[in-house]
Each structure stands twice: as C-alpha cells, then as structure tokens.
Amino acid sequence: MLRKKVFTGSPWESRVGYCRALRIGSRIEVAGTTAMKDGNVVGTGNPYEQTRFILQTIEQALHELDAGLSHVIRTRMFVTDISQWEEIGRAHGEFFKDIHPVATMVEVKALIDPELLVEIEVEAYVE
C-alpha cells in the first residue's frame, strides 16, 4: 500500500528518522507534536497556547493527507504538569468539541525541551 508522508521541517525528523504524519490507506498516524517553530518553543510557560499551536500543526498535517480534524478518532496528550489539565483540555475542546475522539492525558517526567509543557499525537481514519 502507498505510504504518504508529511514532514514539517523539525530538526528531529531527519535526525531521528521519522515523519510528522503518515497515511497508509485509510489510516493516518500523527507523531508526537510539540509547540516548536523554527527551533523555538511557542507559548513558553502557557499550556493553553502550546496546545492550540500543536493542534493547528496537527490539523495542517492532516490536510496535507486529505483529511481533517473530523477524521481524528484518538488523541494522546502527554503533559509535564497534570495540574494544568484544564487549560490543556480547554484548548483540546475548542478543536474537538463536536468530534469527540477518544482521548488520553497523562503526566510525564519531561519532554525533549524543558520549556515544552505538552506533546500530542493523534490517530485518524478516512473512509
């Protein structure tokens, strides 16, 4: 089956050997996505802004694979401080309020940069 890939130019994509999103047939997987742009953290100290930026990046990757947020069936949110869940959840809700994918949010010890507060990956399905 044809593998269609999306790259966003993250320095880690080539260094680690992965793509931002991958579509094989009807299935789309979006890699863990953080609030990084041109090597800089977006929304430093603000989990809401980081989550919005991440979901916009994910939405753009999905569009490049002929899909959209309405095709998302699962989100996984990795957060460095679970006490900030309401701000992260508020941003998630703004993007998915009418879609209702299954969702997981877990606290992790750290992300790749100490200023990153959130990392999100998604699964999507296009009929």
- Find the CATH number of the domain harbouring 67: 3.30.1330.40
Tell me the torsion sign for CA atoms 71, 66, 90, 120.
Answer: positive
| Domains of the chain: total | 1
Specify the pLDDT at position 79.
Answer: 98
Which token pair is 15? 């260094």
Residue type, 65: L
Domain extent for 21 = 3-125
Specify the pLDDT at position 2.
Answer: 86
Q: Which long-range contacts (CB under 8 A, 24 or more apart) does 94-97 make?
A: 94/52, 95/52, 95/55, 95/59, 95/69, 96/69, 96/72
pLDDT digits (tens, 9 = 90+) for 9-31: 888 788 899 999 999 999 999 99
- With a cut of 50, list the residues of the chain below it in pLDDT: none
Which token pair is 103? 């969702």
Specify the pLDDT at position 58.
Answer: 98
Specify the pLDDT at position 11.
Answer: 80
